[in-house]
Structure 1
Amino acid sequence: MKFTFLLGMVGLLVAGRNHCFAQCRETISPSNHKKVHYHTIQLADKKEYLTLTRTGEERILSYHNEKIGLVYYTQMFIEIRFWAPPGHFSLYAAANDRSNWHPIFVLASPITPKELERMKSATKIEILLPEDKKVFNLDAPKNALLNKAIACMY
């Protein structure tokens, strides 16, 4: 009986861990002590993901890539293109400065509610780096995660 109970608890923890990734999360910003709502969407694997973040009325879309080992010396903005059935649109993101404290390559762009609405039916995301082009196809489960993340931004 105890073994069955423990096995059930482990199963709930594993299922909860996978489900938690799709939930809205909150944290307190260390810089301004405001509540931050965020949601993470994996793209290729655990090292490449999008984050939608909301602090008050400010909304930010960020692309994170832990696999890029070099600092990109880029033009001022990098294009992030979203493909959806009604058409495509682009966001222009600035590359964040990398340091020893934050060794992840991050692109960040402010995003409006109108752009969030257009993202809801996205089927493909392209990130146009200076010497590379990342293409991520969004299947139905990833699009559902994207829509949950968009719901967290309101």
Structure 2
Amino acid sequence: MKPAFLLSVVGLLMADVSKSFAQCKETTSPSNHKIVHYHIVQLSGPKEYLTLAKTGEERILNYHNDEFGQVYHVQMFTEIKFSSVKGNFSLYTTISSTDRSNWQSEFVLSTPIEPKELEKMKGTVQIEILLPDDKRTFKVDAKKNQLLLKAIACMY
């Protein structure tokens, strides 16, 4: 009984180790058929999250919100602000009517991200999404920080 128990414990530990070093998620872009590496970082529940994606040398940060109730009909600048122990910085994007309409359930903001910004993201303690009529603030706890670090690792 004891050897079987020890083997099962060792198996669980090995599974946990392999989970920690799991590779990035991967998909093929339907538009250009290139491989896209990505990772998802939950911000608030399953319907509000960040995605870091890399295709070749291009790196993109996306903010997704499937429950966002507003529709914008003009282009507006939006700020995604990172408060970090390694230095604060902001990423900027525009909202246009093509990002979301009444028949599309997902609201997405996309912006390119550079390696120097990824380095600063490693110490993130807070993320703010500054919309024209709303401000979304997310504290980055230890669990979210681990997900963020995995996502950043996918970008190199």
Mapping of residues 5-154 of structure 1, within 5 Å: 24-73=24-73, 75-95=75-95, 97-99=99-101, 102-154=104-156
3-state SS of the aligned residue for 1:77?
Answer: strand
The two structures have a TM-score, normalised by structure 1, of 0.81
Larger radius of gyration: 2
% identical equivalent positions:
63
Unaligned runs of 5+ in 1: 1-7
TM-superposed deviation, 1:75: 4.5
TM-superposed deviation, 1:70: 2.4
Counterparts in 2 of 1:74 and 1:124: CA distance versus 1, 3 Å: farther
For 1:36, give the aligned amino acid: V
Asked if 2 retains the 8 angstrom alpha-carbon contact of 1:62 and 1:106, the reply is yes
Counterparts in 2 of 1:27 and 1:100: CA distance versus 1, 3 Å: farther
Distance in 2 (alpha carbons) for counterparts of 1:81 and 1:38: 21
Q: How many residues align?
A: 139
Deviations 1:73-131 (A, max 9, x none): 45532000000124311000223522577430000000001100010100000000111
Deviations 1:55-80 (A, max 9, x none): 00000000000111321245532000
Distance in 2 (alpha carbons) for counterparts of 1:35 and 1:26: 7
TM-superposed deviation, 1:39: 0.4
Asked if 1 retains the 8 angstrom alpha-carbon contact of 2:86 and 2:122, the reply is no
TM-superposed deviation, 1:25: 0.3
Unaligned runs of 5+ in 2: 1-7
Distance in 1 (alpha carbons) for counterparts of 2:83 and 2:67: 24
The two structures have a TM-score, normalised by structure 2, of 0.80
Asked if 1 retains the 8 angstrom alpha-carbon contact of 2:27 and 2:36, the reply is yes
Counterparts in 2 of 1:69 and 1:110: CA distance versus 1, 3 Å: same
